[in-house]
Amino acid sequence: MKKQHIIIAFFAVGFLFLLCGCNRPKGLVKNMDEFNQAVQAARPGDIITLANGVWTNAELVFTGKGTAEKPITLTVQEKGKVTLEGQSFLQMAGEHVIVEGLVFKNGYTPVSEVIAFRKSKEELCNNCRVTECVVDNYNNPERFESDYWVGMYGKNNRFDHNYLVGKRNVGVTLAVRLDTEASRENNHRIDHNYFGDRPILGSNRGETIRIGTSHYSLTNSNTIVEYNYFDRCNGEHEIISNKSCRNTFRYNTFFECQGTLTMRHGNETLVESNYFFGNRKPNTGGIRIINEKQKVINNYCEGLTGYRFRGALVIMNGVPNSPINRYFQVTDSEASNNAFIDCDYIQLCAGSDAERSAVPVNTVVRNNLFYNEKKADLFTVYDDISGISFQGNVLSPNLAPISKTGFTQAKLAFSRDPNGILLPGDNSVKAGITEVKPHATPENTGVRWYPRNDQEVRFQTGKTIAVAPGTNTLFEAVKNSGSGDILELAEGDYLLTKAIDVYHPITVRAKAGKPTIRYEKNSLFNIENGGALALDNLKIDGAECPDYSGNAVIRTSRYSMNRNYKLFIENCDFTGLDVNHSFNVLRIYKNTFADSVVLRHSTFSNISGAILQLDAETDDIGIYSAENVVIDNCQFADIGGTALHLHRGGNDESTFGPMLQLNNSRFQNVGGDKRNKAAASVSLHGVQVARITGCDFTDCQPLKLHLVVGDPITKIKESRFNNTAKVVTQDGSYKDADLNFN
């Protein structure tokens, strides 16, 4: 090799070395001392790199002054190989600092946020960015201990390409705070994030994004929320709660979310080209308009079934001279060129009541496409709509116009475009969305290097384990089971001398015949956090239970559960639960929440307590114990307590449940025990939807209804009351018409 070539090769190697850093990450830090020293010493352009591994209880306070050209960056050695666990959190302050690649899991924040764009009330972050971070089920074990996963403060910050999944305790997932002057007119950008599953909280304060609070709601925030994917964000009514002025929501996708994008407070919001896919899942909603100068244009809504405040489009009534925390009148607002296809409810003047009497004014609903050939009563008009101007809207032929002008009917043939959007084949239709804009998808949001686990509780996804009759055979089998396993019981007798703690979904079912289970502790199954239970084709006999009051067959954890559970009981017989008083089939505790409790084709007899006593939340602040309760084809005989006591107290309107379906069931001598404080066979308090069909009540305490909050749907039909007071409501009377007895 010539000397000249050697020199060139030498420089080339040196240049490559500079370019790639060649396996020596810049500013690699291996512990908190090294991290803190690196932060202290950081100059513009520096990179601090967390070494691979688990960082436990890491209190990362990352402050620095970078520049636009030379930011200070906190990153990780390898994405996905650095996790922050235990009581870890991140606080950022300064200028032009960037954080990327952090994963928070297996723990929860001991402070009020996991990721905060501030160090203290005075030390905020400006021109900063958090990108490609993950927060995965990083939840306080106390369901009602509040925190945020992300708190945005300061100005000009960006939160992008992050993956947040499984927020289960109370508190907004991402909050933009406007609590000091330095955080207003903030121009934040929240984009390309994947907001994964957020289960039903059963209470207010389960929003996925909130921008502002009622207190600062007349302040401009100027936040842009775009290209975010919302996957089953079901926490409460408000997927997004907009509570400040001049924010923009565009190009976001809402997949099967039970709630709406809500303009709760603040004015001049732009809601443009968002895509809502309900897939006809219950309570899926669209857009809710409150306040002034709101612009809702070019949004696509399909298969949304939500009712009332979860309608596909909701225009609310306001409160005259509203206090800042109530409902301002809708005025100078617009909903144009939106498509509502196969949606069930468009709600106008929603919330109209003695307090919310200010109807929408100077508002236009123009060129929208309302198409649902299966539902004649798409629109609900709760009050005077003369303040809304309707122009150029197109309806499916079955829908009646709700005003003399502004609606035409057309039969349209739709086809799906490559993005999965239904578009009318007829180009002459000017209503609906004018253009399909690029928007969020699972692929263009979040991070690529972290797995997306399905977080839903599912039964029968695991292996089948054979269980033989005998003492504690079932206990051992459950102990050795995994999530979703099926425990299949041979015919015969089973005795449990120990209670079975259930920490994951399991199914216990008969392989043949109807195996009989007896037990000696004061409960048979304890559903602990993460647990869920399905019983099928079993006989449960209380003959061996201890002679104490307050036994149960199944109980929830005595401690707070941040994971919602499911309980399915099918083809089972429960009998002889009467060794002492107050013996329940299900006993629940406060701070637990059932996604669903289902009883089908089962019999219950000689039971001293209640079957389903779902009344543990007694604070009357809108918190309740179960979302969906289904009782179908069951028989209840000689039951001391209630067959069902379902309670949601207070007048909070942030949630949709509880919901009840009670069908084709027989009740004989139910509720008569003197300890049954409800003095009812079935007691429903604050239940939002109750459908009772084909039930027989004989020699029972009455069916009691306490109809409060919102607009409960109560339909009782084809039911017979023999030697039983029919229905008792809170004011001591009922009217068939009020209760929709049909």
Where on the chain is the footprint of Ca ion (CB under 5 A)? 204, 238, 654
Q: Which of 521, 548, 539, 549 is nearest to 673 (CA)?
A: 549
Query: What DSSP character marks residue 59?
Result: E
Give which of 584, 671, 689 is closest to 630, Cα–Cα. 689
| Cβ-based nearer residue to Ca ion, 239 or 634 | 239
Minimum distance from residue 172 beta carbon to Ca ion (Å): 9
- The smaller minimum CB distance to Ca ion, of residues 189 and 210, is found at 210
| Closest to Ca ion by CB, 208 or 352 | 208
What is d(CA 583, CA 552) in angstroms, rounded to the nearest whole number? 6
Please, what is the minimum distance in Å from the beta carbon of residue 264 to Ca ion? 7
Nearest alpha-carbon partner for 268 in 293, 244, 287:
293
N residues, the chain? 742
Would strands 82-86 and 103-107 be described as parallel, antiparallel, or unpaired?
A: parallel
Cβ at position 210, least distance to Ca ion in Å: 8
3-state helix, strand, coil in the chain (%, to 5): 5, 40, 55
Cβ-based nearer residue to Ca ion, 264 or 539: 264
Comparison of 204 and 613: residue with beta carbon closer to Ca ion: 204
Least separation in angstroms between CB 409 and Ca ion: 37
Given its phi and psi angles, is residue 503 left (phi above 0), alpha (psi -120 to 50 degrees) or beta?
alpha
- Of 654 and 668, CB closest to Ca ion: 654
Least distance to Ca ion, CB of residue 213, Å: 11
Residue 711 Cα distances to 19, 318, 653, 689, 716, angstroms:
65, 17, 10, 9, 16
Q: How far is CA 680 from the centre of its chain?
A: 32
Nearer of residues 204 and 701 to Ca ion, judged by Cβ: 204
Q: Rounding to the nearest 10 degrees, give the CA dihedral for residues 309, 241, 304, 293.
A: 80
CB of 501 to Ca ion, least distance (A): 34
CB of 654 to Ca ion, least distance (A): 4
Q: Which is nearer to Ca ion, 367 or 654 (CB)?
A: 654
CA distances to 138, 327, 356, 623, 685 from 650, in Å: 30, 19, 18, 8, 10
Residue placing its CB nearer to Ca ion in the complex, 204 or 269:
204
What is the spatial distance between Cα 188 and Cα 97, in angstroms, rounded to a whole number? 15
Q: From the CB of 358, what's the least distance to Ca ion, in Å?
A: 21
CB of 385 to Ca ion, least distance (A): 26
Judged by beta carbon, residue 186 or residue 654, the one nearer Ca ion is: 654
- Chain centroid offset of residue 362 CA: 34
Min dist CB 307 to Ca ion, Å, is 17
> What is the C-alpha separation between 468 and 491, in angstroms, rounded?
8
> Using H for helix, E for strand and C for coil, what is the string for 604-620?
EEEECCCCEEECCCCCC
CB atoms inside a 10 Å sphere around CB 621: 13
Cβ proximity to Ca ion, 262 vs 669, nearer residue: 262
Q: How far is the CB of 595 from Ca ion (least distance, A)?
A: 19
User: 235 and 198 in contact (C-beta within 8 Å)?
Assistant: yes
Q: Using the CB atoms, write b or e for 461-475: b if 16+ within 10 Å.
A: ebeebebebeeebbb
